[in-house]
Structure 1
Amino acid sequence: MKLSEQLQLLDRLNDLILRKGTGNYLSLSTRLAVSPRQVYYLLDALEDLGAEIAYCKIRQSYYYVNEGGLDFSGLVLSSKNGS
């Protein structure tokens, strides 16, 4: 997977977490079109970037312990010429 694709996935995951609309890891893997194992890798990557993430069983969603999330706006790369 290319770096730009990973950043786009992290940005999408960040958005879902901010909206508290991730669902459980299985539904999240479907939303992101990745394997359930990849969901855990993505969550770990966000935590490596300094995010504290928890899971709410009642809402069935991941959320940031400290509100705010991460800003990927300057990092998400668009592919040139479709590559």
Structure 2
Amino acid sequence: MAYRLEVSEATVFRIIETMKEMQAPICYDLERQSYIYTHQTQFKCGFYVEELNLIDKRNLSGGFAFNNLSQLLEF
């Protein structure tokens, strides 16, 4: 896989660990000597737009500055 992706083996292992951290149903199959998905899986990659709630907006803008920014935008 590392050869096909033109990356090091260490990079492949880091990718697999990241996938596991993201709850991907992946494990090593001794019989196939390869990593496999243990369940049917969908993978989405891209940018997604979603409406933020007030707390998320406040956290995104750095906390208290949100109130000032919000008031300026209403002006």
Q: TM-score of the superposition, structure 1-length normalised?
A: 0.47
Question: RMSD across aligned C-alpha pairs, in angstroms?
Answer: 1.8
Say which structure, 1 or 2, has more relative contact order (CA 8 Å, 6+ apart).
Answer: 1
- SS of residue in 2 equivalent to 1:50: coil
How do 1:22-33 and structure 2 match up within 5 A?
28-33=1-6
Deviation at residue 59 of structure 1 after TM alignment: 1.8
Structure 2: 5+ residue stretches without partners:
48-75
In the TM superposition, structure 1's runs of 4+ consecutive aligned residues that sit over 4 Å from their partners are none
Query: How many equivalent residue pairs?
Result: 47
Aligned to 2:61: none
Q: Percent identity?
A: 28
Max Rg structure: 2
Aligned to 1:60: 33
Equivalents in 1 of 2:9, 2:37: separation in Å? Answer: 20
